[in-house]
Amino acid sequence: MTEKPASEALIKAAFAARENAYAPYSHFKVGAALQAEDGRIFTGCNVENVSYGGTICAERVAATKAISEGCRKFTHLVIASQSNPPSGPCGLCRQFLAEFCDDEFPITLVNTDGARVICRFGDLLPLAFRPAVLLD
């Protein structure tokens, strides 16, 4: 796969979403921007909860917003954080995204220092659990 860079608009959307993060416990703010096949951009931020188990990650917020609006096909995901190097999605988010992203799906990881890493979904979750019934 030729690594396709994210548009600047998608990167800006992820950073803007990060500003809305609710992270009073970890102080680790994350923003995500998911571009749908039709061009719409869906954003999300992490929302922590004192129970920890009730916390939802930025990537799943963006994906569930898109899915609730009828989108199931996506072209790119950007994840914005302050970590160096930029953080990838957690394991739960990787498995959640496996439902909607094939191994070639591009993900761009960015941080507040300007670093950018482009990877394929399959590099982040090799041999993802995908029952045959889910594959189109």
Confirm if 31 and 16 have CB atoms less than 8 A apart.
yes
> What integer pLDDT is reported at residue 15 of this predicted model?
98
Residue of 48, 59, 69, 104 with catalytic role = 59
Q: How confident is the model over 50-65, as a mean pLDDT?
A: 97
> What integer pLDDT is reported at residue 4 of this predicted model?
78
59 belongs to the catalytic site: yes
pLDDT exceeds cutoff 80 at 18 = yes
Confirm if 11 and 35 have CB atoms less than 8 A apart.
no
Q: In the CATH scheme, what is the code of domain 8-134?
A: 3.40.140.10
Look at residue 14 and give its three-state secondary structure: helix
β-pairing verdict for 74-81 and 41-45? unpaired
> What integer pLDDT is reported at residue 130 of this predicted model?
85
Edge-to-edge strand ranges of the sheet holding 116-120: 41-45, 31-36, 74-81, 106-111, 116-120
Q: Give one DSSP letter per residue of 23-64, joined into a string.
A: -TTT----EEEEEETTS-EEEEE-B--TTSTT-B-HHHHHHH
pLDDT exceeds cutoff 90 at 54 = yes
**Share of residues in the chain with pLDDT > 70 (%):** 94
Q: How confident is the model over 5-28, as a mean pLDDT?
A: 97
pLDDT exceeds cutoff 70 at 25 = yes
pLDDT in tens, 70-97: 999 999 999 999 999 999 999 999 999 9
> What integer pLDDT is reported at residue 136 of this predicted model?
55
